Structure formats: structure tokens, C-alpha cells
Amino acid sequence: MPSETPTTIKLEDYQPPAYRIETANLNVLLDPTATLVIAELKVVRQPDTKPGAPLILDGDNLKLLSIAVDGAPLQSNAYDVTPSALELTPPTGDTFTLTITTELNPDANTQLMGLYRSSGTYCTQCEADGFRRITYFPDRPDVLSVYTVRLEAPRDACPVLLSNGNLIKTGLVPDTDRHFAIWHDPHPKPAYLFALVAGDLAKITDNFTTASGNPVELNIFVEHGKEALCDWAMDSLKRSMRWDEEAFGREYDLDVFNIVAVSDFNMGAMENKGLNIFNDKYVLADPETATDQDYANIEAVIAHEYFHNWTGNRITCRDWFQLCLKEGLTVFRDQEFSADMRSRPVKRIADVKLLKMHQFPEDAGPLAHPVRPRSYQEINNFYTATIYEKGAEVVRMLQTLLGEDGFRSGLDLYFDRHDGEATTIEAFLKCFEDATGSDLDQFALWYEQAGTPLVSVNTAHNPKDNSFKLTLSQEIPPLPGQQSAKAAVIPLRFGLLGPDGQDLEITTGDSTKVTGDVILLKRPAQTITFQNVPDAPKVSLLRGFSAPVRLTQDQSADDLAFLAKHDSDPYNRWQAVQTLATQTLLARTEAVRRKVAFASAADLVAVLQTVLEDDRLDPALKAQALTLPSETDTAQDIGNNVDPDAIHTARTRLIAEIADELQPLLLPLARDYAKDSAFSPDAASAGKRALSNRALHYHAHSSNPGAVALVNDRFENANNMTDRIMALTLLVHHGFEGAMDALQAFRSRHATSALAMDKWFAARATAPRDETLQVVQDLIADPLYEPSNPNRVRAVLHSFATGNPTQFSRADGKGFNLIAESVLQIDKRNPQVASRLLTSFRSWRALEGRRSSLAESALLRVSSSEELSRDCRDIVDRTLQ
Ligand code: ARG
Ligand code: ZN
């Protein structure tokens, strides 16, 4: 495939469709290499369209067998076929029927977009634009149609036949070995929500009764033998359904809800109406193969896809620029669900960590883009942390600004007003304005401007009149294509702490700037004066991380220690520890580079000790507080001229020092894990494991000669994957005696579970050791590695490129070259997976000179390829810009 000339699609060019498809009747005759799709489309000319205006249907890689209008076959001179479209001059009436037959080759579909086979099972992925790989169609989210789908396949090979909606008929095809099923989805939907599945699958079944009393059949389909791994997913589904009724008044609207787990899937999962298709990683779990993180992810992704039924399916996007309309809102909803199911503060901390780890670097580099982009070349490259995670933060700010009741009334109005529509961010915001009488003009900038605002803080206390002045200013650093940005409205939840650590009563007399415990920063700079403040207070700003901003504030180690101990907001207690740790890490990284002695870490050690000794804190929170900012976080804080080796050395030595200093507290925690007690995946048990494993992690870095034995012991006696993989990772990363045996033991134990082996791959690929480059090359050649499976690629290559900064950014450039080569290889087969891997270069300019020029050479090699997909072309061009 030669490089296509990139075309840029712009939001401002949006035009409503000229024709709509009222109903789509599909007859799909499945075959591994020659599937026939007979599409009967009822086409309706739109009022503004001139009779006879050309009808243009999208198509991609389709073999057109026939086309008929109102039953009359068209001769080939009556239409035009290009690689991306079918164009014809239709009859001049208001409606007509188009019958199109296409032939597909599911087995040859390595892109995993459109109809493909995963371990023999036929499945589809249509978002964003895969439906055009199934039949010619106006493949855009604002064309909503009622689908009736007939599937036909051999009974033996495909006993299970599924599509969207409700099953209305099944039967045998006379005189053949084939059978059929007819599915009807009464809810009009865009083509990206179409799905079908056919294969020989097992299922687990359950049921749910909606608040209105409607019974719903629930099924999860998996490969035979994996039924026992679906219980957690089913339980998560039922809790999601109930929660959406209770929290948002949203009920399910079909007779059946089906989930199918497949092993080859580009992304996490897909919310096709009534037929969610999942990467099996987000369905399958048992203590033997899944970590606590896996359990939490499954719960969150099941919920996310289920919640899309209202935020995405009932109300969808007018065009792909509005992607955050469904994704940001749905991530917000799944975050709230998990917070209700688990510990709210722990969930909030985990979400913010993820945001800072993935979204902040994206928003500070060449791939930065607004939550609602204005243009794109390849939409699949915009399923980003900015659209999803920052999009969710924007919705969360809306809730903070309007209050819980105001937010809920706006959302109710949105569901009411736009049900059944494909709509926009403007329409969404209008609902909140109308429901609450507020003006969200300035707020809308959060959707328009890229970049993370930097909020600077200055304070002045005046003991003469007991006043306290807080001066705040904001700016967005310049980005490619965005030289200057306007001031955003930033809700800063806050508190002022008195000398006893209690929150002070707030008096300002200025309600435009402060409402309740929220400061509204609306201008480039603003000063707030607080009265009745006899002693200089400690300021706790951005409580709960109330806005996706970076804060610069002069805070002494004493201030931070005070907040870490007393802040009434658990998020900011955690943040105070992190800020102190960041300060220590930055100073020490600088010391490593300048080859001078380290300053003492006594302040940080003392704070961590307080955390460990605080009985009020739950173990999960302690584990979070004890986790130092990552090397990637630290690189991000350094900003430019980054030397990953210096960061790694500084961080590793700091961990070792803490481990030695706090050994009396950490060692018992590391030892104390209940190997005999039965495993339970609940949040409280997971929290205990997290703390014990965090302590073990410190212990592994300590100078205690017993560390090696203890880690080996944990590995051998673990009764669950969380403990086992943690121990294995420590053995491998430290090159401990026993590492090789443990790798072998893990492999023998889990060789038949690809998902478990992915963890083994990742543990090896992330080892911060010189030999890892060779190890990764060996892993790609391992018989258990499957180059066509996205999960394997992520476990080995993504883990290396994004989870191993010293080795990916090796000073000899070999890490970059390995990833660049891999991108070129993978791109031939699966452009989406390749372009995602390519984004791991996004922070290349921040590296120190030698490494950044080596990264640039690797990027230029990719760029000079003449056979690059549109996906990779787009990423490499933007990364180099
Ligand atoms: N809508 C899906 C989700 O967030 C993601 C699908 C993205 N797929 C893609 N090929 N871009 O749940
Ligand atoms: Zn989603």
C-alpha cells in the first residue's frame, strides 16, 4: 500500500448529510475468505438536497459484486467506484432502495477493523470508520438507521450468531449444513455501533430486572473452557446496571445484553448497541491469572461500555470532532462508579496519577490537541488520553462549578432533550446553562485550547490587620499551532489550615471569586483577600485535583510535612507527600548530573514514617503515598535536557535510602502477607496486598542481605497473581539470584494463559538493565509471542517503549531503533497498533541533545518509508513538526 496523500478533515467544514439511511437490512453469509454482505438500504433524500444530487457512499477495501436501485440492477457505467467511495446519481424521488452486494475476506483482515476473525470467531470493530469495510454506506455518526441483520453460517463452526438488538428469529437453511439468526435493533444508530459475532463460543448467563421491572437476559460469550473466568465481569455488569439507575436514572432498553470476549482486539472494548465486544483482557479474571489491577480494570471497562448505552448510543456524536462528548462523559461516569464501588480517595489518586502520566506529557508535546480537536487526518489517532481522561476532567469541573444538583439537572435535561440524536459539545453545554442559568462561554475554552494550564501561587500574610492575600495567575505554555491561549475558568477547591491543622472558616466578602470551598480563577491573575486570619495559614490548593492544571507554589518541606499530616482532603495529603518526593528527586537528579553529593532525604523519610504510622489511613492510601513519582513523571517535571539515566540513578538510590531508614516499619509489612488466607479481589484486600507489595519493593532495594530470600519466598508462596508477578518483577529487575528459575517456573505454570504470559513479557521488557534490549529481541522471537496479537505487542514493545525509560532512550540509540523498526513491521499488518506504538516518541525533544538527535534519526527513518499507513504518517509528521 503506497502512502496516501494525507487529507485534513476540518470541523468548520461540517455539512449535514445529503441523504439518510432510514433502515438497513443486512444479510451476511459468513465464510472465512468470501463472506457475502447483501445490504438493502432505504435511502431518504434530505429536504435541503436537490432531487438527483449525487449520492456518495464510503467504502474501504471492498469488492463490489452488484448494485441495484429499487430492484433494478445498475450497469457499471451508472456509478463510479474509487478506493474510498461509491458515487451514483440516484432517482429523483424522496426515497428509494439501494441493494448492494459486497464480498469480504475476514481472514485477510489483519487491521482488525471491519469484519475479521479472532481465533476462528467472526467479529467486527466499526468505530470509528470500520463499517465502510463491510458495505458501502454513509459511514458517519450523524446518519442513524434501524438495523435488521440476518446472519448465516455453518451450524458446526458457528453455533453462536449474534448482532445488535433483540433476537427475532432463528432457523435452519434447508438442504445445507447452515443455520441463520435474525436480529433487530429498534434503536436507530450510527454505523459505528453495528456489530456481529459468529463462532463456537461458550457463555455464562444471568439476568437483571430494571427499575421499571423489565427483565434483561445477560450473556458473556468466551472461548470454551474460559467460562469460569467470567464471573467477575458478570458481577461488574450487574452492579453497573444498578448503579446507572441509582446515580443517573438511566435504565437499559433491550431484552438482552451480550458481551463477547475476543483475544485479538486493537483497543480495550467497544460499546456496540446490545453487543459489546471486549478485548478479553478486560473480561477474564481469576486469582491465578489476574492481578488486583486487572480486577479493577475489568470492573471499570465493563461499566464504561455499559454506560455508553446512554452516553454514546442513545445520544451519539454529530461528527468525530465531538468524540469527547461520549468518551469524556463516559469516563467520568465510570470513574464515579468505581469510586462508589471502592475507596473514593484511592480511586481519585489513581485517576490523577494516570492523567499526569499519560495526558500531561501528551498535552506538553507535539501531539497535543484540544479536547475537541479542530482538524484531523486519521481519527483513530484521536482516541487519546486528552479526549478520554482530560475530557473526563472537564466534565468533573462542570460538576464542581455547578454543584452536584446543578450538574445532575443539566445532565437530566441533556438526556431528555437529545435522546435519539447525534449532537455536539455546544448542545451539551447549553443543557447545563439552561438547567442552571449559568453562563458557560468561558468554560467552553476547556474544549478549544490544548495544553495544561500552569497556575502560580503567591501569598502574603499581614498580622497587622489579620488579612491573608492569595495571588493566583495562570498561563498555558505555547504549543505548535497555538502560540497564545486565553485565560480559562479554573475551579480550585481549597482550604486554609490554621496552626492546629484544622480548616479555617473562610471570609472574603467576594462571592465572585470564592464560593464555598472553591476559588474561581477566571482571569490571567487575581488576588483574593481573606479576613480574620491571625496566623499565616498553610494553603491547601487544588483539593481533589479539582482542575487539570499544574500548580507551582513555594512550599517548604515543613509546609508539605504539615499538609501531609493534617490536610482534611485525602487527595492533598497524598499530593503533599508527592510534592516533597518530587522536590527531593529533582534535587538529586541534578546532583547525579553534576556529580556532587546528595542533600539529605530526612524530610521525606520523616513524612513517609508519619504516613506509615498513621492508623487512620487505609492501607491502599498508604501504598499510594509510599509510591514515589515515576521516572516518567520526573522527566516531565524536569521538562528539558532530560537524562533518563540520571533520573533512574537518583530515584533508585532514594528508594534504597528510604528502605534502609524505614526498615523497622517496612520489613514487617513486607513479610506480613497472609499467604494462607483465601484470596478475595475486593478493594480492602487489594489495598493490603498493595501495601505489602510496596514494602517488599522497598525491601528489595535495601541493603538487607535477606532481601533476595524474601522476594524469592514471596514468589514461591504467592497464592494470587498480584503477589506472584510483583515478586517476579523484582527478581528480574534487580537481577536477583533465583530470577531465571522464577521466570522458568512462571512460564511453565502459565504457558497456556496468554494474558498471564503478557505479564511475564512485560516484567522482562521493563527491566532497567543493559541486556534488556537483547531480551526484547528474544521475546519477539519467542514461540509464545504472536506478532499479530495487539496484547502481545503491547506487553513487549509498548512496555519497553513506555515503561523502561533508560533502555528505550539508551544513549546508543538502539532502543529507539528497535521501536522504529518494529513500528515499520507492524504497520504493514495493523496500522492502528503501529501508530499507537509510534506515539512513544512524543517526548523526544525533551531529551538531552545526544539522545534527542538519535530519537530524531529513528523518527526520520520511519518518516522516509514509502509505504507508511495514514495512521503512522499522521503521527510521525506531527511528532517531527
Ligand atoms: N468507543 C470505544 C470505547 O472507548 C473505543 C473504540 C475505539 N476504537 C478505535 N478503533 N479507535 O469504549
Ligand atoms: Zn468509551
Whether 18 and 151 map to the same domain: the answer is yes
Closest by CA to 474, choosing from 491, 461, 462, 459, is: 491
Atom of ligand 1 nearest to the CA of 269: 12
The torsion angles phi and psi of 295, rounded to 5 degrees, stand at -60, -45
Q: Is the CB of 305 under 6 A from ligand 1?
A: yes
Q: Is residue 618 part of a domain?
A: no
Whether 383 and 426 map to the same domain: the answer is yes
The DSSP secondary-structure symbol of 419 reads: T
Most informative mutation of 109, 124, 127 for ligand 1 (most atoms within 8 A of CB): 127
Altogether, the residues listed in the chain come to a count of 881
Closest by CA to 832, choosing from 880, 798, 781, 856, is: 798
d(CA 328, CA 391): 4
- End-of-domain residue from the set 498, 531, 547: 547
d(CA 817, CA 510): 58
Task: Confirm if 202 and 225 have CB atoms less than 8 A apart.
Answer: yes
Q: Coil, helix or strand for 279?
A: strand
Q: Is residue 301 part of a domain?
A: no
Task: Confirm if 815 and 807 have CB atoms less than 8 A apart.
Answer: yes
Low-confidence ranges of the chain (pLDDT < 50): 1-2
The torsion angles phi and psi of 299, rounded to 5 degrees, stand at -55, -45
Residue nearest to atom 8 of ligand 1 (CA): 127
Q: Is residue 252 part of a domain?
A: no
d(CA 531, CA 786): 66
The DSSP secondary-structure symbol of 185 reads: E
Q: Is the CB of 388 under 6 A from ligand 1?
A: no
Grid coordinates belonging to 60:
474501504
The enclosing H or E element of 634 equals helix 631-638
d(CA 722, CA 692): 11
Task: Confirm if 620 and 683 have CB atoms less than 8 A apart.
Answer: yes
Q: Is residue 693 part of a domain?
A: no
Q: Is the CB of 266 under 6 A from ligand 1?
A: yes
Q: Is the CB of 301 under 6 A from ligand 1?
A: no
Whether 40 and 168 map to the same domain: the answer is yes
Backbone conformation region of residue 685, classed left if phi is above 0, alpha if psi is from -120 to 50, else beta? alpha
The count of other CB atoms within 10 Å of the CB of residue 509 is 9
Return the amino acid letter for 669.
L
Q: Determine the pLDDT at residue 435.
A: 98
d(CA 183, CA 170): 9
Q: Tell how far CA 829 is from the center of its chain.
A: 23
Whether 52 and 188 map to the same domain: the answer is yes
Task: For residue 483, give Cα distances in angstroms to 486, 687, 843.
Answer: 10, 44, 19
Whether 400 and 535 map to the same domain: the answer is no
Whether 366 and 328 map to the same domain: the answer is yes
Single pTM value for the model: 0.98
d(CA 190, CA 142): 7
Residues 6 or more apart whose Cβ sits within 8 Å of residue 261: 220, 221, 222, 223, 226, 230, 233, 278, 279, 280, 282, 283, 284
The interface predicted TM-score (ipTM) is 0.98
The enclosing H or E element of 234 equals helix 231-248
Task: Confirm if 497 and 566 have CB atoms less than 8 A apart.
Answer: yes
- End-of-domain residue from the set 163, 178, 200: 200
Q: Is the CB of 334 under 6 A from ligand 1?
A: no
d(CA 877, CA 855): 14
Sheet of 525-530: strand order equals: 525-530, 467-475, 454-462, 550-553
How far, in Å, is the centroid of ligand 1 from the Cα of 485? Answer: 30
Q: Determine the pLDDT at residue 483.
A: 86
Range of the domain at 334: 316-448
Whether 171 and 78 map to the same domain: the answer is yes
State the CATH number of the domain containing residue 534.
Answer: 2.60.40.1840
Most distant pair of Cα atoms in the chain: their distance: 98
How far, in Å, is the centroid of ligand 2 from the Cα of 339? Answer: 18
Whether 507 and 439 map to the same domain: the answer is no
Q: Which residues are bridge partners to 256 per DSSP?
A: 217
Q: Coil, helix or strand for 15?
A: coil
Task: For residue 389, give Cα distances in angstroms to 332, 341, 397, 442, 547.
Answer: 8, 20, 12, 21, 12
Q: Is the Cα dihedral 473, 478, 481, 484 positive or negative?
A: positive
How far, in Å, is the centroid of ligand 2 from the Cα of 616? Answer: 36
Number of independent structural domains in the chain: 4
Whether 487 and 433 map to the same domain: the answer is no
Q: Is the CB of 279 under 6 A from ligand 1?
A: no
Q: Is the CB of 229 under 6 A from ligand 1?
A: no
Q: Is residue 760 part of a domain?
A: yes
By the 10 Å C-beta count (0-12 exposed, 13-18 middle, 19+ buried), 554 is classed as exposed
The DSSP secondary-structure symbol of 600 reads: P
Q: Is residue 126 part of a domain?
A: yes
Q: Determine the pLDDT at residue 4.
A: 54
How far, in Å, is the centroid of ligand 2 from the Cα of 208? Answer: 23
State the CATH number of the domain containing residue 778.
Answer: 1.25.50.10
C-alpha R_g of the chain: 28
Ligand approaching nearest to the C-alpha of 790 = 1
Q: Determine the pLDDT at residue 675.
A: 59
Task: Confirm if 58 and 139 have CB atoms less than 8 A apart.
Answer: yes
Grid coordinates belonging to 671:
513479610
Q: Is the CB of 327 under 6 A from ligand 1?
A: yes
Atom of ligand 1 nearest to the CA of 113: 10
Assign 3-state DSSP to the chain and report helix, strand, coil percentages, each to 5: 45, 20, 35
State the CATH number of the domain containing residue 182.
Answer: 2.60.40.1730
Q: Among this protein's residues, is 661 annotated catalytic?
A: no
Whether 190 and 60 map to the same domain: the answer is yes
Task: Confirm if 601 and 584 have CB atoms less than 8 A apart.
Answer: yes
Backbone conformation region of residue 105, classed left if phi is above 0, alpha if psi is from -120 to 50, else beta? beta
Atom of ligand 1 nearest to the CA of 379: 11
The enclosing H or E element of 9 equals strand 9-10
Q: Is residue 500 part of a domain?
A: yes
- End-of-domain residue from the set 136, 169, 200: 200
Name the residue with cell 495514514: 870
Sheet of 85-88: strand order equals: 55-58, 85-88, 79-82
Whether 71 and 174 map to the same domain: the answer is yes
Grid coordinates belonging to 58:
464510503
Q: Which of 305, 336, 393, 856 is catalytic?
A: 305
Whether 495 and 418 map to the same domain: the answer is no
Ligand approaching nearest to the C-alpha of 267 = 1
Q: Is residue 154 part of a domain?
A: yes
Residue nearest to atom 2 of ligand 1 (CA): 270
Q: Is the CB of 127 under 6 A from ligand 1?
A: yes
Angle of helix 754-765 relative to helix 739-750, nearest 10 degrees? 160
How far, in Å, is the centroid of ligand 2 from the Cα of 400? Answer: 22
Q: Which residues are bridge partners to 669 per DSSP?
A: none
State the CATH number of the domain containing residue 358.
Answer: 1.10.390.10
